[in-house]
Structure 1
Amino acid sequence: MRGLLTLSGMIDALSDRVGRALRWVAMLMIALGVINVIGRYLGAELGMQLSSNALLEGQIQAFAVIFLLGSAYLLRHDGHIRVDILQSRFSARTRAWVDLLGALLALVPFCGVMLLNGVDYVALAWARGEVSPNPGGLPLYPIKTVILIGFALLLAQGISQAIKAAATLTGREAQ
């Protein structure tokens, strides 16, 4: 169990690093929004077009990166929605069972299905060099790749959560 808890600790550390890095993506998303708004209104005053589809799509893709890569960080810190009215009444052992079964019966299989089905989807986007249909839009294949990365991180964090729940159930202290 000690080796599994070490693995869990490494996965948790990765999720934390990714989560902290996403702060910069959030700042980029905000900056793109501000630049686009200023460009739109200043451009209107000057009679010029200073905003672009690339800025709008960059903002949307930054949000997608935060959403997809941040899900593992959110799971790590128990930020996902739960039925807290019930969860708060459970003993630590019952919560551990719910977490273990939820991870093994729902989260891990779902992530596995998404990864298996997503590989062809992403590979096709790369093969086509898929880009946005909007004039001046951004390439789509990089952001589609983030789908796979996000589900891989979520799968890893789900395994980490299952390890910690199993450690609780067996009376071992999780890291």
Structure 2
Amino acid sequence: MQILLKIASIIDTINQWIGRLVYWLVLVMVLVGVWNVLGRYLGRWLGQNLTSNALIEIQWYLFDLVFLLGAAYALKHDDHVRVDLFYKDWSPKRKALANLIGTLLFLIPFCLMVIYFSWEWTLNSWVIFEQSPDPGGLPRYPIKSMIIISFVLLILQGISEAIKNWAIFRE
């Protein structure tokens, strides 16, 4: 069990570092958004275009990264949405069992399904080096890859949570 808990700790550390990176991406996203708004109005006043489709898409991509990469971090910290009508009153062992079953029957299969259905779509995007249809837009294939990466991270965090919940249940 100690080896499994060590593996869980390594996964937790990876997703903790990614979560800290995401904190900074939120700040960058807000700054880009502020510039997009200010640049639009200031540009009109100056008669000069101070923003671009690329900057607008960067803001979207940053939001995507925050959402996608933040999912595993939220799971690690138990900050995801939970309807705990009964759960809040359960014992730690019962909670651990419910979390273990939920992870094994719902979270991991759902993540595998998303990866399976996204794989070909993402690969095709790389094959053609898909670009934004907007003038001056960004490439689409890197951000599409983040869907797969984020769900792999979510599976890994699910495995970590399953290990920790199994340890709690076995106490």
Q: Where in structure 2 are the equivalents of 1:92-171 lying within 5 Å?
A: 92-171=92-171
3-state DSSP of counterpart to 1:62: helix
1:37-76 Cα shifts (integer Å, max 9, x gaps)? 1210110111222121111110010000010011000000
3-state DSSP of counterpart to 1:84: coil
2:7 corresponding residue in structure 1: 7
Structure 1 length normalisation: TM-score? 0.95
Mean Cα displacement is larger for which, 141-150 or 130-139? 130-139
Mean Cα displacement is larger for which, 108-117 or 69-78? 108-117
Distance in 2 of aligned mates of 1:155 and 1:119 = 15
Query: Which amino acid in 2 is paired with 1:124?
Result: N
Distance in 2 of aligned mates of 1:163 and 1:112 = 18
3-state DSSP of counterpart to 2:159: helix
Structure 1: 5+ residue runs without aligned partners? none
Structure 2: 5+ residue runs without aligned partners? none
Alignment: residue pair count? 171
Query: Which amino acid in 2 is paired with 1:51?
Result: T
Distance in 2 of aligned mates of 1:14 and 1:97 = 25
1:78-113 Cα shifts (integer Å, max 9, x gaps)? 001111332211111110111000000000111111
Distance in 1 of aligned mates of 2:96 and 2:60 = 36
Query: Which amino acid in 2 is paired with 1:34?
Result: V
Off by >6 Å, runs of 4+ in structure 1: none
Query: Which amino acid in 1 is paired with 2:55?
Result: L
Mean Cα displacement is larger for which, 65-74 or 82-91? 82-91
Query: Which amino acid in 2 is paired with 1:99?
Result: N
Structure 2 length normalisation: TM-score? 0.97
Identical counterparts, % of pairs:
45
Give the root-mean-square deviation of aligned CA atoms. Answer: 0.9
